Structure 1
Amino acid sequence: MIAISWPAVGATILPNLGGIAGGFITRKQIKSKWYDSLKRPDWRPPNWAFGPVWTSLYCSMGYASYMVFRDGGGFNGPAKIPLMVYGTNLAFNWAWTPIFFGAHKLKLALYEIQLINATAVASAYLFYKINPKAGYIMVPYMVWLGLATALNYVIARDNPEGATIKEIQD
């Protein structure tokens, strides 16, 4: 019989909760005139790729956090600070979608993604100190964040804040 580690399952699911919530905002916006009017780089991944990529990343990040929780004594041991930094990273990560897609604040989203990057690097480093595999598991997330940051930068640069759809198209 296979024993299920419910803490591992919970930690793996947790990051996806914010992703699912953000997905409702994103799904509505990618069918909008606002999104259609945005100048986007040709090198961006197709829209359909974002869901599977983020799901994979969220699951791996969540499992890495479980490894740190397990090996670092939970919130009563050396894992406390790494898990707090990770929680902060998730909060910043989940906030990006409502800023970019919900409020259409492209430059604010670009500033905010820097907070995601900083806390992702800090999380990976702190995770590594508790469990090196957990730190390495965070590397694909940081690589994808690099792409997301570049994409956010180009979109913010090429689309003036507050412009009407007609102005963007001209």
Structure 2
Amino acid sequence: MVNWSLVGAMFLPNVGGWMSTLTMIGQVKKQEGNAWYQVIKKPSWTPPNWVFGPAWTVLYTSMGAASYMVYRDCGGFTESAVLPLSLYGGQLVMNWMWTPLFFGYHRIGLALVHMLVLDGAAVACARSFGAVNTTAGCLMLPYLAWLAYATTLNYSIWKLNKDDKKN
């Protein structure tokens, strides 16, 4: 039998990620120079564009599975689930907001500040998940590693382009 709660928990973060990307694409199309990301300065260790979709699909899916484990182990939306699931929801919304901020509005510096706050929220979420279910906490570790990489990449791009008035 299919566990629809688990499927939904794994699907939800991906839907938000897709919506965030669609919002960003709409914003880029409204602006001049929709090849902005292709022409800004980036460090040599920037991954190719095709890496981001599969990476985020795996990360969002594992985060969703972790959230389901917490939900299940806390007995649903109970008092014990409020903190970990609120931290999860908060950091997830912050995650979705970063894409339009960076790619759509080209606010590299502001996106970096946003990312640093997101990093703290994601660590708090992972710790709270681990306190409920060790496996759920461990499922958040690849996400934390990717966020550390993404934060470093955001910082490097900001540093390389900070003389541009908009950044």
Give the TM-score normalised by structure 1. 0.89
Distance 1:143 1:162 in 2: 29
Once the two structures are overlaid, the 10-residue window that deviates more, 154-163 or 134-143, is 154-163
Q: Deviations over 1:123-157 (max 9, x none)?
A: 11000111110000000000000110000001111
Residue in 2 aligned with 1:95?
97
- 1:76-155 matched pairs, under 5 angstroms: 76-155=78-157
Once the two structures are overlaid, the 10-residue window that deviates more, 146-155 or 77-86, is 77-86
Q: 2:16 aligns with which of 9, 15, 18?
A: 18
Whether the 8 Å contact between 2:21 and 2:100 is mirrored in structure 1 is no
Question: Matched residue pairs, number?
Answer: 163
Give the percent of matched residue pairs that are identical in Structure 1 and Structure 2: 47
- 1:67-78 matched pairs, under 5 angstroms: 67-78=69-80
Task: Give, in angstroms, the shift of residue 27 of structure 1.
Answer: 5.5
Residue in 2 aligned with 1:58?
60
* Alpha-carbon distance change, 125 to 68 in structure 1, aligned in 2, over 3 angstroms: same
Report the 3-state secondary structure (helix = DSSP H, G, I; strand = E; otherwise coil) of the residue aligned with 1:44.
Answer: coil
Report the 3-state secondary structure (helix = DSSP H, G, I; strand = E; otherwise coil) of the residue aligned with 1:75.
Answer: coil
Distance 1:135 1:41 in 2: 31
Distance 2:84 2:147 in 1: 19
Q: Which runs of 5+ in 1 are unaligned?
A: 165-170
Query: Is residue 7 of structure 1 aligned with residue 5 of structure 2?
Result: yes
Distance 1:143 1:149 in 2: 10
Distance 2:61 2:9 in 1: 8
Q: Which runs of 5+ in 2 are unaligned?
A: none
Whether the 8 Å contact between 1:106 and 1:161 is mirrored in structure 2 is no
Whether the 8 Å contact between 2:25 and 2:104 is mirrored in structure 1 is no
* Alpha-carbon distance change, 140 to 119 in structure 1, aligned in 2, over 3 angstroms: same
- The aligned amino acid for 1:13 is F
Report the 3-state secondary structure (helix = DSSP H, G, I; strand = E; otherwise coil) of the residue aligned with 2:80.
Answer: coil
Q: After the TM superposition, which parts of structure 1 deviate over 2 Å for at least 4 consecutive aligned residues?
A: 22-29, 160-164
Give the TM-score normalised by structure 2. 0.90
Task: Give, in angstroms, the shift of residue 44 of structure 1.
Answer: 1.1
